[in-house]
């Protein structure tokens, strides 16, 4: 089976993710920490479900978040200039 990208932003391949799982990563967040999958400009919007399809989703029923792979502010890239404005306010 040909290798393929999972995280398009950080160029993390399926073998990278599989290696992280083999090394003990047991949820999407741990895969992110080991491989950088989900740390690029799209912030996991695209690869989160693909990583979860490989490592499994965490939890059933009512959850405190949408995924183990955390979502942080800002949810989209923001220019430093715009962040400085917030600080000054």
Where do contacts with another protein occur on this chain (CB under 8 A)?
A: 1-6, 8-11, 14, 40-43, 45-47, 49-50, 53, 57, 59-67, 71-79, 81-82, 85-86, 88-89
Least distance in Å: CB of 45 to another protein?
Answer: 5
Distance of CA 82 to the CA centre of its chain: 24
Between 11 and 26, CB nearer to another protein: 11
Is residue 8 within 8 Å of 37, Cβ to Cβ? no
CA distance from start to end of the chain: 54
Between 30 and 48, CB nearer to another protein: 48
Containing H/E element for 33? helix 28-35
């Amino acid at each position: 089976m040909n290798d393929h990208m999972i995280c398009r932003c950080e160029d993390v391949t399926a073998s990278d993710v599989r290696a992280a799982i083999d090394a003990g990563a047991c949820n999407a967040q741990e895969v992110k920490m080991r491989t950088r999958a989900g740390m690029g400009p799209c912030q996991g919007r695209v690869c989160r479900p693909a990583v979860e399809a490989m490592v499994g989703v965490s939890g059933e029923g009512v959850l405190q978040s949408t995924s183990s792979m955390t979502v942080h502010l800002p949810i989209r890239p923001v220019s430093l200039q715009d962040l400085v404005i917030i600080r000054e306010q």
